[in-house]
Amino acid sequence: MTNLARLYSLFDSVELPEDLPYTQCSTWELQFLYLVGRHRLTGRDRIVELGAGGGGSTYMLAMGLDENPAFDRRTGRLHAYDFFRVGKGTFASEKFFTAGHKPEDDNSFLNDFRERLSPFLPFLEIHAGDLWQTSDPDDTSPVEFLHIDIAKTARVFRCVSERFLTRLQPGSVVLHQDFAGPRLPWLHHSTGALLPYIEIAGPPIRSTLAFEVTKPIPGDVLKRVSEDAYTVDEKLDLITAVQDRVDRDHTDGIPFKSVLELAKAYVCHYDGQHRRAWSIAKPLLTDEYLSRTRADHFAQLRKAYEAEPKVSPMSRLKRLVGMG
């Protein structure tokens, strides 16, 4: 089996097909999905795509598998999960419809997906609906590969961690597609908790962090991750541990140490600690990448901080000496 790090030298060998479905992944991420499918996977255990959307990422992974001599198309399966419909709270885009927009009378793009993925349907298993309903809580079969492009909320991440991360074994490969998203800090602190048991493939590929599991992950670690049982301070330390391991992405466009620092602010923000969140975020205003791409994040954190009741220095002092 190919070491994940070796795939980085093969990016230029991958050409994207002209009929590739609309996708929210970058060219590099799509090339990497192809390379993992083509050179790294076997299909002996579960291959799972969480957040298939209009099918761009699924297509490239499936194309790699299709061209992989070690993958048996008769027995190997690629499991694709998504709502496959647009609507409030789905995080799906109307661009996932082949026409580029939703028809009048239908909010499902499942048929569009099927049509576009038709060359690979013989080994594609589609799970349409909310992940909490479409994934099996009793399935403990090992997962060989996880592409995670679905964990936009803590609620969904809980499902991902309970039902999929718990099935990782030494040799399993994980791609976290939203790793450059500071509003999704569960991706970052959970990775921090897994660090002793994984090997990060190399610099993130644009927004995607890729890693391989190298040691069995103890059950109590997986339980704490899936139950979100870390304190705020522990989460910040776990993110710091990840910062020590990642820097700029493969294309040199994304400064991950800063992105992860902003993710720490969101850990505090979600915990209602808005003063602390802003004290972490404010110094990052001078970061060129973050100020250019995450102005809305700063505005959100500043607004929450400013809405907090202000405590005067005198009453803070009184409280400290036990008079208030």
Ligand X SMILES: C[S@@+](CC[C@H](N)C(=O)[O-])C[C@H]1O[C@@H](n2cnc3c(N)ncnc32)[C@H](O)[C@@H]1O
For position 149 contacting ligand X by CB under 6 A, the verdict is yes
- What burial class does residue 89 get, using C-beta atoms within 10 Å of its C-beta: 0-12 exposed, 13-18 middle, 19+ buried? exposed
For residue 319, what is the DSSP state?
Answer: H
Element (DSSP H or E) covering residue 145: strand 143-148
For position 64 contacting ligand X by CB under 6 A, the verdict is no
Alpha helices, H only, 50-152: 56-66, 110-116, 131-134
For position 237 contacting ligand X by CB under 6 A, the verdict is no
Residue 309 vs residues 170, 275, 304, 306, 312: alpha-carbon distances, Å: 49, 10, 10, 8, 10
Of 5-13, 53-61, 233-241, 252-260, which segment contacts ligand X by CB under 6 A? Answer: 53-61
Nearer to ligand X, 17 or 216 (CB): 17
Q: Give the shortest CB-24-to-ligand X separation in angstroms.
A: 4
Nearer to ligand X, 43 or 55 (CB): 55
Q: Which of 36, 65, 124, 131 binds ligand X (CB under 6 A)?
A: 131
Nearer to ligand X, 52 or 187 (CB): 52
Q: Which of 40, 41, 46, 53 binds ligand X (CB under 6 A)?
A: 53
For position 148 contacting ligand X by CB under 6 A, the verdict is no
Half-sphere exposure of 110 (CA within 13 A, CB side): 14
For position 90 contacting ligand X by CB under 6 A, the verdict is yes
Q: Count residues near ligand X (CB under 6 A).
A: 21
Half-sphere exposure of 164 (CA within 13 A, CB side): 29
For position 187 contacting ligand X by CB under 6 A, the verdict is no
Report DSSP letters for 185-201, one per residue: HHHHHHHHHHGGGEEE-
Say which residues have a Cβ less than 8 Å from residue 90's Cβ, sequence separation at least 6: 83
Determine contact, residues 222/166, Cβ cutoff 8 Å: yes
For position 51 contacting ligand X by CB under 6 A, the verdict is yes
For position 24 contacting ligand X by CB under 6 A, the verdict is yes
**Residue found under tokens 């579960």:** 46
Q: Give the shortest CB-180-to-ligand X separation in angstroms.
A: 13
Tokens describing residue 240? 């710091």
Of 18-26, 217-225, 232-240, 243-251, which segment contacts ligand X by CB under 6 A? Answer: 18-26
Tokens describing residue 131? 């992940």
Residue with nearest beta carbon to ligand X: 53
Of 77-85, 162-170, 289-297, 304-312, which segment contacts ligand X by CB under 6 A? Answer: 77-85
For position 158 contacting ligand X by CB under 6 A, the verdict is no
Interacting residues toward ligand X by CB under 6 A: 23-25, 51-54, 56-57, 81-83, 90-92, 130-131, 149-150, 152, 156
